[in-house]
Structure 1
Amino acid sequence: MTIQSCSVFCGSRSGYSARYTEDARSLGTALAQNNITLIYGGGQAGLMGSVADATLQAGGNVKGIIPSFLEARELLHEGVTDLEITEDMPSRKAKLFDLADAYIILPGGFGTFDEFSEILVNRQLGLHDKPIIILNTDRWAISLIETLDTAIKQGFAEKHAHDFYHVAPDVSSLIKQLNNF
């Protein structure tokens, strides 16, 4: 399977580490260089804006999907290749999930956790078999990974649930993982 598009879930804020923005920009550049369309939440702020800007600057395609009530709050990114405004969050998420060949998780907050949890559960239920890759910038995802491991060790998820997602320490490793699917 050739990956042609990725939904990237990440913060509408940049976080405290400059490394988060650097990796978001590196990912955007790498997606463009590998002819992979970025699909993301449509905002201009935070890591979302950074990954979109870098993809565009490197000549890549970007599809933004944003619900109407977030247009002003997340500073709608009017420079994307294709912008779609949805009625609400569930329809936004459905499009982010359906249109992608793979999912990438960058540092983010509660919205990012929500999106990750839903695609992970959908993978567990057999509703998709698309790659899910967590970019562990500055060990951002360590607690998340430990929580997932605990759920597996305590019998709340199948022993092979580790196979539902992958962790990449850097953008280069992440792109290699995408190319190997």
Structure 2
Amino acid sequence: MPKYTRSVCVFCGSRPGARPAYTAAAQGTGRMLAERGWRLVYGAGDVGLMGEVARAAQAAGGETFGVIPVHLLGKERGKRDISTFVVTETMHERKKVMYMNSDAIVVLPGGAGTLDELFEVVTWRQIGLHSKPIYLLNTEGYWNPLLAMAETVIAEGFAERSLAEYMVPVASLDELETRLTGALG
């Protein structure tokens, strides 16, 4: 029987980024999830922020569920010492497995892959395929340009106000924990 009560999908970079605060946020997220008894669902990489969040969750005694497509096994160095390690055929299947095995989504800083993952779950929410909360950990204001772009999309008539409401920015790990606790119980 698993010891976790809920699962949180974390999308984040396979690189560490330019600021130490990004690594600290990833480590803090992994630790917080484990301490709350929530399973980490993530991209199964052992590099960048992905590796940091997983190692921190493991060090705090948390469950880890990693999903990686076969073509990235060599590139992202799959972290095989996690609780569950799933290899998919495609990137789309990876996102689907991660989403299906989580109760909430947290997005840390990252690049094109992270943006792709974010936009897919936001689009799914926009068209009514799910109602899971999506939180952007806005470390050092990383997500501010994206949030401004969402406002432009809305102002220019390409989306309803709900688009911005689906991506909930949180300024700190404490706020993230509070929001997740409210959403997951």
Normalising by structure 1, we get a TM-score of 0.96
**CA deviation after TM superposition for structure 1 residue 164, in Å:** 1.4
- State the match for 2:72 in structure 1: 70
- State the match for 1:134 in structure 2: 136
**CA deviation after TM superposition for structure 1 residue 98, in Å:** 1.1
Q: 1 CA distance for matches of 2:104 and 2:39?
A: 11
**CA deviation after TM superposition for structure 1 residue 70, in Å:** 0.7
Conserved 8 A contact 2:69-2:94: yes
- State the match for 1:110 in structure 2: 112
Q: 2 CA distance for matches of 1:85 and 1:159?
A: 37
Letter aligned with residue 107 of structure 2 = I
**CA deviation after TM superposition for structure 1 residue 161, in Å:** 2.8
- State the match for 1:86 in structure 2: 88
- State the match for 1:157 in structure 2: 159
Letter aligned with residue 144 of structure 1 = L
Structure 2's unaligned 5+ residue stretches are none
Q: 2 CA distance for matches of 1:156 and 1:58?
A: 43
Percent identical residues: 39
Q: 2 CA distance for matches of 1:140 and 1:169?
A: 10
Q: Larger deviation: 150-159 or 25-34?
A: 150-159
- State the match for 2:10 in structure 1: 8
**CA deviation after TM superposition for structure 1 residue 99, in Å:** 1.0
For the aligned residue pairs, the C-alpha RMSD in angstroms reads 1.0
Conserved 8 A contact 2:66-2:84: yes
Letter aligned with residue 139 of structure 1 = G
Conserved 8 A contact 2:26-2:49: yes
Q: 2 CA distance for matches of 1:156 and 1:125?
A: 14
**CA deviation after TM superposition for structure 1 residue 97, in Å:** 1.3
Partner of 1:97, secondary structure, is helix
Q: 2 CA distance for matches of 1:165 and 1:47?
A: 20
Q: CA-to-partner distance for each residue in 1:50-86, whole Å, 9 max, x for gaps?
A: 0000000000000000011111100110121110111
- State the match for 2:149 in structure 1: 147
Partner of 1:23, secondary structure, is helix
Conserved 8 A contact 2:122-2:163: no
Q: CA-to-partner distance for each residue in 1:3-32, whole Å, 9 max, x for gaps?
A: 711110000000010000000000000000
Equivalences, count: 179
Structure 1's unaligned 5+ residue stretches are none
**CA deviation after TM superposition for structure 1 residue 88, in Å:** 1.5
Q: 2 CA distance for matches of 1:12 and 1:162?
A: 26
Q: 2 CA distance for matches of 1:159 and 1:26?
A: 31
Letter aligned with residue 91 of structure 1 = E
- State the match for 1:23 in structure 2: 25
Letter aligned with residue 40 of structure 1 = Y
What is the 5 A alignment of 1:167-178? 167-178=169-180
- State the match for 1:52 in structure 2: 54
**Which one scores higher on RCO, CA 8 angstroms, separation ≥ 6?**
1
Segments of 4+ moved more than 2 angstroms:
159-163
